[in-house]
Amino acid sequence: MSRVAVTYRVSVRPSDVAAVAEGIALEQSVELPASALHDAEIQANIAGRVAGIRQRGEELFDVDVELAAATMGGDVAQTINMLFGNSSLHAHVELVDVRFPEDLLAALTGPRFGARGFRDVVGAHDRPLTCAALKPQGMSVESLAQLCETLARAGIDVVKDDHGLADQAYSPFLPRVQACQRAVDRAFAATGHRAIYAPSVVGAPRRVAEQIHIARDAGTHALLLAPSLLGLPAFAELVHNAVEVPVIAHPSFGGATRIAHPLLIGTLYRALGADAVIFPHASGRFAPPASQCRELAVRARAPLGKLLPALPVPAGGLQLDSLGEVITFYGRDVMLLVGGSLLADPSHVGDRAARFVAAVREASLARDGARA
């Protein structure tokens, strides 16, 4: 019987770890104590089992549990239910890794476009892509569209709505998306640079469905969606049934889990269909450990069944004067998102965006030079 290998990181005293590990294996499968399991078939094929315990610190352990794939019923929601349903209620347990067996992996569809979905549109295949955000919310549709055009004319590859932009009265979704797409179209006509505008699609399911229609009618080339906010099962179904353009996943509400970010954002968002994944970079205002950022980027791009790689998008306070280091850190198959740093002085947004674009090209050339 096929098993999913799951690793939980557990804060517990060494004397308790064996019982805690056994407890997780049962909680995430049959939800009964072993003493109440009377059916040999269920014990053998349905109950979770502990496959290993590795000490990582004085009171910190990695517990490997094998869960029966049959319990997951071929469904995203039920898979999450089995991976981390009740155990999420235990504050001392974190979900840090999931390894799907071949049959489940084959059922995952993953990104439909990957990095090429963005690269083909903007015509850039050999350098990091650049991304900027439209903000702050509260601006009018006209002001947002003007900012969008400024950024596109400066050569930014992907101009995305701030994830806080939804369908508010001061910049309703329909006119905003139409105006911003027209703005990148004007910039293309003027400069020959085809920028992608990615609207922020956020709402309860019916509203999201309407917004996806509006964005398609407006001709946008990508969408920004927050999988953890919409719900992971709803996100996966939307991407594969309703969206015809590349999807950028935003981590909003995704930190409100005890699922390690490399797994959640690098593996799971990708497995559910994200073509690009935004995450906080080590040097910014969220300051996760650099090792975590590296692992996340590795997971987004590493071979995983037949899944396309997803494009890592480090963000969260990148500064214009240290982009070289960031590119060295992630390599060139990356999209750099610089938000607030471009907008500090409203009269110089275009200049700063152009500096961003130039800095990425220069850093990229410098790397080529160093290699040659």
Residues 193-212 that bind its own copies (CB under 8 A): 202-208
At its nearest, how many Å lie between its own copies and the CB of residue 166?
4
Question: Is the separation of the CB atoms in 118 and 246 below 8 Å?
Answer: yes
Which amino acid is present at 185?
Answer: D
Q: Tell me which of 114, 254, 262, 309 binds its own copies, using CB under 8 A.
A: 254
Q: Does 339 bind its own copies (CB under 8 A)?
A: yes
- Cα pseudo-dihedral 134, 139, 144, 150, rounded to 10: -80
Q: Tell me which of 344, 369, 371, 372 binds its own copies, using CB under 8 A.
A: 344
Contact segment (CB under 8 A) with its own copies among 10-18, 111-119, 249-257, 292-300 equals 249-257
* Straight-line distance from the first to the last Cα atom of the chain, in angstroms, rounded to the nearest whole number: 51
Contact segment (CB under 8 A) with its own copies among 39-47, 190-198, 318-326, 364-372 equals 39-47
Residue (62 or 362) nearer to its own copies, CB? 62
Residue (71 or 181) nearer to its own copies, CB? 71
d(CA 112, CA 128): 20
At its nearest, how many Å lie between its own copies and the CB of residue 321?
17
Question: Is the separation of the CB atoms in 316 and 286 below 8 Å?
Answer: yes
At its nearest, how many Å lie between its own copies and the CB of residue 279?
9
Residues 132-171 that bind its own copies (CB under 8 A): 133, 135-139, 162-164, 166-170
Q: Tell me which of 218, 232, 326, 359 binds its own copies, using CB under 8 A.
A: 232
Q: Which residues pair with 130 in a beta bridge?
A: 336
Retrieve residue 29's tokens: 């499968």
Q: Does 78 bind its own copies (CB under 8 A)?
A: yes
Q: Does 319 bind its own copies (CB under 8 A)?
A: no
CA angle 65, 40, 45 (to 5 degrees): 40
Three-state secondary structure call for residue 171? coil
Residue (41 or 58) nearer to its own copies, CB? 41
Retrieve residue 267's tokens: 């593996």
Question: Is the separation of the CB atoms in 266 and 98 below 8 Å?
Answer: no
Q: Tell me which of 255, 305, 324, 350 binds its own copies, using CB under 8 A.
A: 255
Binding residues for its own copies, rule CB under 8 A, total 85
Phi, psi dihedrals of residue 102, rounded to the nearest 5°: -55, -40
CA angle 270, 4, 50 (to 5 degrees): 135
For tokens 């347990």, the residue is 93
Residues 296-315 that bind its own copies (CB under 8 A): none
Q: Does 40 bind its own copies (CB under 8 A)?
A: no
